[in-house]
Amino acid sequence: MTLFEVAVAGALLVAAMVVTFQVTTASATAHRALDRRQAAMREAAGVMERLAALPWEELTPQKVKDVQLSEEMARAVPGASLRVDLAELSKAKPARRIAVEVRWPGGPGRPESTVRLVAFRYPPPSAAKGPP
């Protein structure tokens, strides 16, 4: 009877260790994914803040094309990419739509992940005056 009890206890211990290992692995994977998402959010927010702070005249499609992924983001999230779009919304009421998108590979068997921020920028009252 004692040998049987030891075998059952050993089997339960092994099962508990396997479950603990799987939960720990899943938790670490989720934590890494969250770290990457947070890094992407910081990168997108920083780019958006820099572009939104530019004077109206300097906020041009050429200036937007020059924006690149930071070295910190490239190190933190290998394979990440940055895309920034600037669109004029209307000539009658000038406005510009700034879209910042950070993408990175999701890992084996996972889809690509994306963080997207959009802001609208309007000219200062003195620059917005057009034809009456």
The answer to whether 47 and 82 are in contact (CB under 8 A) is yes
The answer to whether 96 and 86 are in contact (CB under 8 A) is yes
- Residue 22 corresponds to which tokens in the numbers above? 């799987």
Q: Which contiguous run of DSSP H or E holds residue 44?
A: helix 2-53
For residue 86, give its domain range. Answer: 2-128
Write down the pTM of the prediction: 0.76
Q: What is the pLDDT of residues 23-37, one digit of tens each?
A: 999 999 889 889 999
**Which residues, 6 or more positions from 105, have their beta carbon under 8 angstroms from its beta carbon?**
78, 79, 112, 113
Q: What is the pLDDT of residues 55-95, one digit of tens each?
A: 988 999 988 999 999 999 998 888 999 999 999 987 778 89
Determine the residue type at 12: L
For the chain, what is the domain count?
A: 1
